[in-house]
A and B are shown apart, each in its own frame.
Chain A
Amino acid sequence: MRYILERLGFYAFAAWAALTLNFFLPRLMPGDPATALFARFRGRLAPEAMQALRETFGLTDAPLLVQYFTYLGHVLRGDFGISVAYFPSPVSQVIGTGLIWTIFLAGTALIVSFAIGTLLGIVAAWQRRGWLDTWLPSTLVFLGAFPYFWLAMLALYVLGFTLRWFPLGHAYGDDLTPGFNFEFIADVVRHAVLPIGTVVLATLGGWLLSMRNTMIAVLGSDYVNLARAKGLSPSRVMLRYAARNALLPSVTGFGMALGFVLGGSLLTEIVFSYPGQGYLLVQAVRNQDYPLMQGIFLVITLAVLGANWLVDLALLWLDPRTRESS
């Protein structure tokens, strides 16, 4: 239990660090931040918008510490300020729906890639010298060297534009209304194949190699040798003795890969005009919509921290040694 609390404490600290970073960033620009922001918008903003901007960042005349706590208070209440580009919609509203699509895209891709890659890695280590161990890893590593979004562009071009097998963008057809019916879900899946597929393809190699290398190391250990000596069947030795232990470092890596894959999938969303955070982000960057940008950053960070914590819980279940407090 101490382990869970320790990890929670760490994530809370990381969240606080992200919030504080968000607070200080606008203030790092030379001069009075508010004036600098105004200058960037060259009078394009209505006075109400400017005022909203000031309030979001706590850019009042109060001393820094007060500004900081005001800001923290806002954030903890879920108030990320008003979006500049989508004025007067609050940032939290703009982010809202997008987050679901991003989690769907990145989450599914990550889980599928992890599952397939890890399984292939186990088999590759067990077989050694099959085509699974010679050609596949190298090919997948090569594929992984391409930027995800470039693979997305290629897939869009070949499979969407040229062959017309898949739609060219968005999460679902414009003519459909969202709902929990088969037609809508099928359409969502059809639109998701290319975006998810390209991310999976790009990340598969990493999981395969990592699992395979860990398996090879584990297969040389004494307890695997003993398992063989005990006369257990090869599949049992491979799964319950070798793979079960080799899985631990991979699951640890899963947590770290989360942030990384998320970044790549944001860029993939842009290629497919997928209505997730990535699309919002690029709009925010183009419009210099700082509140939205920072809001997205915070939301994504919190999601990643939360997912990391879930992975820690999974590790607790998988590895009995972590259950004892040291």
Chain B
Amino acid sequence: MSATSAARATGIAAWWDAIRRDRKASIGAALLAVFVLVGIVGPWLVGAPDALVGVPLQPPSGAHWLGTNGQGQDVLAQLVVGTRVSLAIGFTVGLAVVLIGALVGVTAGYFGGRVDALLSVLFNVFLVLPGLPLAIVIAAYLPSGPLTLGFVLVVTGWAWNARVLRSQTLALRRRDFVAAAIVTGESSFTIITREILPNMMSLLVAQVIGSTVYAIGAQVGLEFLGLGDVSAFTWGTNLYWAQNDSALLTGAWWTFVPTGLCVALVGFGLTLLNSGFDEITNPRLQMERAWRAHLAARGQAATRSTPVVRDRG
């Protein structure tokens, strides 16, 4: 089996197909699309997020669909504007950690030996050091802003991808087509880019999605602490100000509930998207479905022991 046909079986085409066929993944894709759309065109459709538009802490009304915050600013505007930045940082960091993770993980898995030992220790150390405290300590020394935020998120997030991709590389390396390529004298670089990476395509995409979920969540957490640029408008800083202005204790739920809901919906949507991928890597789940349907059609429940069905034909 050539590398390209193997890649096709596990590559992006198969992944996209699985999404369309799987209901959960389709819902996830739809959710994501909505937010991306809001992120792109939203800011032009709402007012300025920093404008003082009314009395502070007004509940949702016709004039302000999500009410006003502790400063008297429109919550909906802040939410929509925040979508763009939060998603942008999320995707960028998600992509970055997978790229770095792939660089380290694939190198370690492919070359083995000392290189592997060294790189493994490196990412294992980063895996075991607690992420949030590390991020805080680093961010505290750097000027606040999206770059710092992105930097600490990448530093604390790349190790997980390195580990997963290293395992996958190790498994692929033992396969016949790689051995064949080595024997024919292909250079390591060629083998990695032409034989190994294409076969990990669907895994890489799943990793990007998963890392984006992590990035958005971690970003919101750090901003909530006040480590982002608190004068910027992002989901996390919205929550920071909500907490700061004691929104909870004054009953102003609209200042934090919609934002949290958005974070969850995007995260959930991305996770659902990834679950479509689950079906490919776990054919057992697929088989089980067909089997249960077959039994149900004949009026039988699934039993622990092999069931006996008798058709007329």
* Contact surface of A with B, Cβ cutoff 8 Å: 10-11, 13-14, 17-18, 21-22, 25-26, 28-29, 128-129, 138, 141-142, 145-147, 149-151, 153-154, 156-157, 161-162, 168, 213, 216-217, 220, 228, 234, 255-256, 258-260, 262-264, 266-267, 270-271, 281-282, 285-286, 288, 290, 293-294, 296-297, 300-301, 304-305, 308
Contact A308 B128 (CB under 8 A): yes
Q: Name the contact of A150 in the complex, choosing from B130, B137, B263, B266 (C-beta under 8 A).
A: B263
Residue B226 at the chain A interface, CB threshold 8 Å: yes
Q: List 22 A-B contacts (CB under 8 A).
A: A13-B125, A21-B134, A128-B288, A128-B302, A138-B24, A147-B224, A150-B264, A153-B248, A161-B248, A162-B251, A267-B221, A267-B224, A270-B243, A271-B248, A281-B133, A282-B225, A285-B225, A285-B226, A285-B227, A288-B140, A290-B140, A293-B140
Chain B residues in 8 Å Cβ range of A300: 130, 133
Instruction: Determine the residue in chain B with the shortest Cβ distance to A303.
Output: B130
Contact B129 A282 (CB under 8 A): no
The list of the 10 closest CB pairs from A to B, nearest first, reads A263-B132, A145-B267, A150-B260, A259-B130, A145-B264, A145-B268, A146-B264, A297-B133, A297-B137, A14-B125
Contact B130 A301 (CB under 8 A): yes
Closest chain-B Cβ to A31's Cβ sits at a distance in Å of 12
In addition to A141-B268, A147-B221, 14 A-B residue pairs with Cβ atoms within 8 Å of each other are: A10-B121, A10-B124, A29-B141, A128-B302, A142-B264, A145-B266, A146-B264, A150-B260, A153-B256, A216-B284, A262-B133, A270-B224, A300-B133, A301-B130
Residue B210 at the chain A interface, CB threshold 8 Å: no
Chain A residues in 8 Å Cβ range of B268: 141-142, 145
Residue B138 at the chain A interface, CB threshold 8 Å: yes
Chain A residues in 8 Å Cβ range of B259: 150
Instruction: Determine the residue in chain B with the shortest Cβ distance to A141.
Output: B271
How many contacts A-B (CB < 8 Å)?
151
A157-B253, A168-B249, A293-B137 as given contacts; A263 in contact with B131, CB under 8 Å:
yes
A260 to B242, CA, bound (A): 24
Counting chain B CB atoms within 10 Å of each CB, the highest count among A151, A162, A263 belongs to A263
Instruction: Determine the residue in chain A with the shortest Cβ distance to B255.
Output: A153
Chain B residues in 8 Å Cβ range of A17: 125, 129
Closest chain-A Cβ to B305's Cβ sits at a distance in Å of 8
Instruction: Determine the residue in chain B with the shortest Cβ distance to A267.
Output: B221
Chain B residues in 8 Å Cβ range of A10: 121, 124
Chain A residues in 8 Å Cβ range of B217: 147
Chain A residues in 8 Å Cβ range of B121: 10, 13
Chain A residues in 8 Å Cβ range of B130: 258-260, 262-263, 300-301, 304
Closest chain-A Cβ to B55's Cβ sits at a distance in Å of 21
Chain B residues in 8 Å Cβ range of A271: 243, 248
Residue B294 at the chain A interface, CB threshold 8 Å: no
Chain A residues in 8 Å Cβ range of B213: 145
A297 to B141, CA, bound (A): 14
A262 to B24, CA, bound (A): 31
Contact B284 A285 (CB under 8 A): no
Closest chain-A Cβ to B10's Cβ sits at a distance in Å of 19
Chain B residues in 8 Å Cβ range of A22: 137
